[in-house]
A and B are shown apart, each in its own frame.
Chain A
Amino acid sequence: MPRAIEPNHHAYGRHVGLLVQQLAALPGIGQKSAERLAQHLLDCSEEEAAALAHAILDVRRTIRRCSVCHNLTEQETCDICLDSRRDQGLVCIVEQPRDLLALEATGTFGGVYHVLGGRIAPLSGVGPDDLNLATLIRRVKSGKIRELVMATNPTLEGDGTALYIVNLLADEPVKITRLARGIATGSVLEFANREMLSDALKGRQSF
């Protein structure tokens, strides 16, 4: 792995060094990729570079959390929460906004969402108080929610977070379901792993 160069010691000067340092701090970008991106920005026109800089600043200035579901939005309330064609009584609980995007991409869910902002992970110092649970409880207590769909990641911590929420809402008159698990459509049984087959058998449905 190439060593990071101090901004002041970069061959093209301090400004390029700072740019490389900032780019290398982005997820998935190493020192070499940062150098390549910086080289590209040096080659492009001033307008193109300004457009990128403005886009980054605009995102930081305009994007906020939806006051209802904590999704990312430009307004006080996101388009999904405001959409009157959606079933406001059906709420899907996800860990992150990117999970919401993945579910939206299917085009099959007609309800609304609630973004927790993470999962309970005590080993990383994330507890229930760090998640958007107070607003979820408020939404449930409003009596407008009929069903909650747990769509936390199917990991030990994701399942643990779902179980915590189920216990938290045990006394509320709301139906709680979770996403099905098992084999993917289009795959073959021969190559499905033991866990997938086991989950599929446990969650079998009537025709």
Chain B
Amino acid sequence: MAAEKGTALILRVTDFSETSRIVVMFSREHGRFSALAKGGRRLKGPFESSLDLLSTCDVVFLKKASSGLDLLTEARLVHRFRPEPNQLNALYAGYYVAELILGLTEDYDPHPEIYDEAQKLLESLADASNLSIKLTRFELIMLRECGQLPDFETCMACGAELTEGRLFGFWPGQGGMICPACQREDYSQIPVHAGTAQLLRRMASNENTAWSRLIPSPQQVKELRAVMLAAVTHTLGKRPNTLKLLRFQ
């Protein structure tokens, strides 16, 4: 067993025995992986109480050749997740990041872009403003990286570009939008105004636009969240637990 090194974000910590813990981590180089931290509950030892949810640590671990858990031998805290003080919403947004990565990535499948964006988002939660835009951007990146990004450009029914029309529909089961001409009562669709559709297109684009400066209207926030909840729920196969606690203005 060769020792592997990396910097990892901690996604889940579960007590295993009197002194040990099982830690699920996500690193830029290795993707998501689970490891047993023997003595991980003790204050002293090679982990120095660094194994906390959403902390970033420099880790050394022994990769198991079989399907068993890896063995975490060292962890040194790089930085701890510090949401805006007294802002539960920022804390829950951090939990949501962990839930999305846990649910939408596979073991040992590295996604450097997800790792970088997750770190940027967690850092930005020191200021809990504009949460809907920050989370929508991250959700779109997650969906793109796992090949499930909805199509916001063309109609899922007729294939026409969505340039004309005031009210479109988002159809999660088909993975995209429907133009006004193709909408039918029996389609389970979410109404999306043209402005919100434009926002979604800009935020989903690969180009580094100034998305963080976008200030959506309350109606757009409502529509953005409805679309993203439907898309994420469809991809995960269940409604994310943490979204029950998150509040968007």
Interface residues of A (CB under 8 A from B): 1, 27-28, 120, 122-123, 125, 127, 155-157, 160, 163-164, 166-167, 193-195
Binds A, one of B109-117, B130-138, B208-216, B240-248: B240-248
Quick one: which of B1-37 are within 8 Å of A by CB?
Answer: 11-13, 17-18
> Given the interface contacts A156-B53, A156-B54, does A122 sit within 8 Å of B80 by beta carbon?
no
A-B pairs with CB below 8 Å: how many? 53
**How many chain-B residues does the 8 Å CB contact rule pick out?**
28
> Could you write out 25 A-B pairs with CB less than 8 Å apart?
A27-B17, A28-B18, A122-B92, A122-B241, A122-B242, A122-B244, A123-B11, A123-B12, A123-B53, A123-B95, A123-B99, A127-B241, A127-B245, A156-B52, A156-B53, A156-B80, A163-B86, A166-B86, A167-B86, A193-B48, A193-B49, A194-B77, A195-B49, A195-B77, A195-B80
Question: Is the pair A123, B241 in contact by a Cβ cutoff of 8 Å?
Answer: yes
Q: How far is the CB of B57 from chain A (nearest CB, A)?
A: 12
B199 CB within 8 Å of chain A: no
Of all chain B residues, the one with the shortest Cβ separation from A166 is B86
Q: How far is the CB of B77 from chain A (nearest CB, A)?
A: 7
The A contact surface, by secondary structure, is helix
B91 CB within 8 Å of chain A: yes
Q: Which of B49, B91, B244 contacts A160, CB < 8 Å? A: B91
B182 CB within 8 Å of chain A: no
B160 CB within 8 Å of chain A: no
B88 CB within 8 Å of chain A: yes
Question: Is the pair B49, A127 in contact by a Cβ cutoff of 8 Å?
Answer: no
Residues of A within 8 A of B12 (CB): 123
Q: With the chains together, A1 CA to B102 CA distance in Å?
A: 27
Of all chain A residues, the one with the shortest Cβ separation from B48 is A193
B98 CB within 8 Å of chain A: yes
Of all chain A residues, the one with the shortest Cβ separation from B87 is A163
> Given the interface contacts A27-B17, A122-B99, A193-B48, does A163 sit within 8 Å of B53 by beta carbon?
no
Question: Is the pair A28, B52 in contact by a Cβ cutoff of 8 Å?
Answer: no
Residues of B within 8 A of A156 (CB): 52-55, 80-81, 91, 94
Residues of A within 8 A of B86 (CB): 163, 166-167
Q: Which of B18, B48, B53, B245 contacts A155, CB < 8 Å? A: B53
The 8 A CB mask of B79-103 against A (1 = contact, 0 = none) is 0110000101001101100110010
